[in-house]
């Protein structure tokens, strides 16, 4: 068995008296998509915010490629190749795809001016690998569809060497065709060996996109299952009853 890309061991964090995440351990392998399921308030976002450095855990250890990783802020997380694709995609609406890919990290010519040609060339290269159908390099981000925006956000992460992607409901606002586009993107990212944590409410989406599903309830981990080994009802039972499939009524 290979070394996990990410190991979250005994993660715990409380807010006031509430144990938002209570002794949760999950791993993620290269080329794997692990779905995080659970009701609102189960602790999914909080767990993932510990990994992305947005929250500091009270207890627990994080290992990246088998070595303990000290992540206490978003910059640390980025240095370990951890990138989050937020549901409300943080794109600059008035500039084009290439400019969005390099937002805040622009390429410059040796005279210090923006090197638009180089940025567009790089944008075409990275997008050519991820989503060859994407052609709208010259248009402002606001004119792009939801799936295309998703492509730009993911390309931005990949361009900066993301190894671990956190996606929060990537298909929630998308129609069937666009959802298919994102599914293909995820497939390509897997092929390139990235690991993905995918938060989703939708059991169908998790069955379709993920290799394994981790179900949380009241801050605790109910269980982790291979999606091919369980039915949607099994997953529902885990979410609602907090029981492993074999023990579910």
Ligand X SMILES: Nc1ncnc2c1ncn2[C@@H]1O[C@H](COP(=O)(O)OP(=O)(O)O)[C@@H](O)[C@H]1O
Whichever of 45 and 151 has its CB closer to Mg ion, that residue is 45
69 DSSP assignment: -
CA angle at 137 for the pair 114 and 156, rounded to the nearest 5°: 70
- Pairwise CA distance, residues 226 & 242, whole Å: 17
CA angle at 173 for the pair 140 and 135, rounded to the nearest 5°: 35
Question: From residue 6 to residue 45, what is the string marking binding to ligand X with x (rule CB under 6 A)?
Answer: ---------x--x-x-----------------x-xxxxxx
- Pairwise CA distance, residues 51 & 65, whole Å: 14
Whichever of 47 and 119 has its CB closer to ligand X, that residue is 47
Farthest CA pair distance, the chain: 69
- Pairwise CA distance, residues 30 & 6, whole Å: 9
Q: Choose the one of Mg ion, ligand X, none that binds residue 217, judging by a C-beta under 5 to 8 angstroms depending on kind.
A: none
Q: Choose the one of Mg ion, ligand X, none that binds residue 38, judging by a C-beta under 5 to 8 angstroms depending on kind.
A: ligand X
Write the CB contacts of 228 (distance below 8 Å, at least 6 apart in sequence). Answer: none
Whichever of 119 and 221 has its CB closer to ligand X, that residue is 221
**52 is an interface residue for Mg ion by CB under 5 A:** no
Q: Choose the one of Mg ion, ligand X, none that binds residue 46, judging by a C-beta under 5 to 8 angstroms depending on kind.
A: ligand X
Whichever of 21 and 98 has its CB closer to Mg ion, that residue is 21
Number of residues this chain uses to bind ligand X (CB under 6 A): 11
Q: Choose the one of ligand X, Mg ion, none that binds residue 20, judging by a C-beta under 5 to 8 angstroms depending on kind.
A: ligand X
The binding site for Mg ion (CB under 5 A) comprises 45
């Amino acid at each position: 068995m290979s070394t996990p890309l990410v190991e979250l061991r005994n993660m715990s964090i409380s807010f006031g008296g509430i144990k938002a995440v209570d002794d949760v351990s999950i791993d993620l392998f290269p080329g794997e998509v692990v779905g995080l399921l659970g009701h609102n308030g189960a602790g999914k976002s909080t767990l993932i915010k510990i990994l992305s450095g947005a929250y500091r855990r009270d207890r627990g250890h994080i290992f990246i490629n088998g070595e303990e990783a000290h992540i206490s802020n978003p910059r640390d997380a980025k240095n370990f190749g951890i990138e989050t694709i937020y549901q409300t995609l943080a794109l600059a609406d008035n500039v084009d795809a290439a400019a969005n890919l390099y937002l805040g990290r622009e390429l410059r010519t040796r005279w210090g001016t923006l090197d638009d040609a180089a940025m567009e060339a790089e944008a075409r290269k990275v997008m050519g690998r991820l989503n060859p159908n994407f052609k709208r390099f010259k248009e402002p981000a606001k004119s792009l569809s939801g799936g295309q925006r998703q492509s730009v956000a993911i390309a931005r992460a990949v361009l900066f060497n993301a190894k671990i992607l956190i996606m929060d409901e990537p298909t929630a606002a998308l129609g069937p065709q666009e959802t298919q586009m994102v599914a293909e993107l995820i497939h390509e990212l897997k092929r390139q060996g990235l690991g993905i944590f995918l938060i989703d409410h939708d059991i169908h989406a998790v069955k379709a996109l993920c290799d394994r599903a981790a179900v949380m309830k009241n801050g605790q981990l109910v269980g982790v299952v291979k999606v091919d080994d369980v039915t949607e009802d099994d997953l529902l039972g885990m979410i609602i009853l907090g029981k492993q499939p074999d023990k579910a009524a």
